[in-house]
């Protein structure tokens, strides 16, 4: 928690990495601090501008190939790595997640990433993964089920120095290997759009608790609870129906 008590949230290259509404993640983080009486400021950082060195949170979103490559080149000056070294939180989605790895793929070929996450995205799925994505988060994170929407062709493979954000319950996730996202220290990558932090306030509060160094008081999440219920029912409905069918069939057998 900084002495001047205004939490800075850098929204990195929204004009390049803002195709899927992920800029909403920065707004969610700022508002959840303000609702608790903590001042917060979202600082959009555009291409050509230096990455501020003093923010507590850095947020990246999804985007198209060429803007993704430009954003990676812009961020390659080491400023983000230095922020991570001093304990800043980084939350990156889709193209932004891929940029944080060692290498990522655009139409013209592979490009170097920032190497903040031990992962690579050098293969492309034959069919784009598009649809609701449900993730059972790593138990160590103490989170409830994660819900979002994925839309990507890149296949992200994790190395030994990161662990997945969670296991895929519905959807594709990183590379169809049952794993979704990546976490190391205070750096988190994921394919969840929605935006992720709007649909998953517990994840937003986890990132904020890392910044504040304490648990945060609850806020009114009535609207989002209704949305989560709706989305999880829509994504898991078919599986739930199938389970119900199995139960009905099983009854005479157990008797």
Partner 1 sequence: MAARAGLAVAYGSRLAGHGGSVLGGRVTLALDARALPRLSEGRTIALVSGTNGKTTTTGLLAAALGTGGSVVTNDSGANLPYGLVAALTADLAAGTAVLEVDEGALPPVVAATRPAVVVLLNLSRDQLDRYGEVRMIAARWRGALADAPGAHVVANADDPIVVWAARAAASVTWVGAGQSWREDAATCPACGHQLRWDGAAWACGSCDLARPEPALSVDGDTLVSRRGERIAVELRLPGRCNVANAAMAAAAAQHLGVPTARAVAAMSETTEVAGRYRVVRVGSSLARLLLAKNPAGWVEALDLLRPPPLPVVVAINARVADGRDPSWLWDVPFERLRGRSVVASGERAADLAVRLRYADVEHETCSDPLDAVRGLGAPAVDLAANYTAFQGVVGATARAG
- Based on the shown chain and the rule CB under 8 A, indicate whether residue 191 belongs to the binding site for partner 1: no
d(CA 104, CA 82): 21
Q: Is 18 in the site for partner 1 (CB under 8 A)?
A: yes
Residue 26 CB, nearest approach to partner 1 (Å): 10
Q: Which residues are within 8 A (CB) of 169 and not within 5 positions of it... i.e. 6 or more apart?
A: 134, 135, 136, 145, 236, 239
Q: Which stretch binds partner 1 (CB under 8 A): 2-10, 156-164, 173-181, 218-226?
A: 218-226
Q: Please tell me whether residue 118 binds partner 1 under the rule CB under 8 A.
A: no
**Residue 70 sits in the site that holds partner 1 (CB under 8 A):** yes
Comparing CB distances to partner 1, the nearer of 48 and 160 is 48
Choice between 65 and 177, CB closer to partner 1: 65
Under the rule (CB under 8 A), what is the footprint of partner 1? 14-16, 18-24, 27-28, 31, 47-48, 64-67, 69-70, 128, 130-131, 149, 151, 193-195, 198-199, 223-224, 226-227, 230
């Amino acid at each position: 928690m900084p002495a001047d008590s205004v939490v800075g949230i850098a929204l990195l290259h929204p004009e390049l990495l803002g195709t899927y509404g992920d800029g909403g993640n920065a707004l969610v983080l700022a508002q959840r601090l303000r609702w608790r009486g903590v001042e917060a400021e979202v600082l959009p950082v555009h291409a050509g501008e230096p990455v501020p060195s003093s923010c507590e949170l850095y947020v990246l979103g999804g985007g198209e190939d060429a803007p993704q490559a430009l954003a990676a080149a812009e961020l390659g000056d080491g400023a983000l790595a230095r922020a991570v070294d001093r304990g800043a939180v980084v939350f990156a989605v889709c193209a932004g997640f891929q940029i944080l790895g060692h290498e990522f793929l655009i139409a013209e070929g592979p490009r170097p990433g920032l190497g903040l996450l031990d992962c690579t995205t050098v293969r492309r799925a034959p069919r784009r993964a598009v649809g609701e994505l449900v993730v059972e988060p790593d138990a160590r994170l103490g989170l409830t089920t994660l819900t979002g929407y994925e839309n990507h062709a890149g296949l992200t493979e994790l190395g030994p120095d990161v662990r997945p954000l969670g296991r895929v319950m519905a959807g594709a996730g990183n590379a169809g290997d049952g794993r979704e996202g990546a976490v190391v220290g205070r750096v988190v990558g994921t394919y969840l759009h929605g935006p992720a932090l709007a649909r998953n306030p517990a994840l937003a509060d986890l990132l904020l608790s890392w910044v504040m160094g304490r648990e945060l008081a609850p806020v009114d999440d009535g609207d989002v609870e209704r949305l989560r219920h709706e989305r999880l029912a829509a994504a898991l409905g078919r599986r739930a129906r199938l389970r119900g069918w199995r139960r009905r069939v099983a009854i005479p057998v157990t008797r």
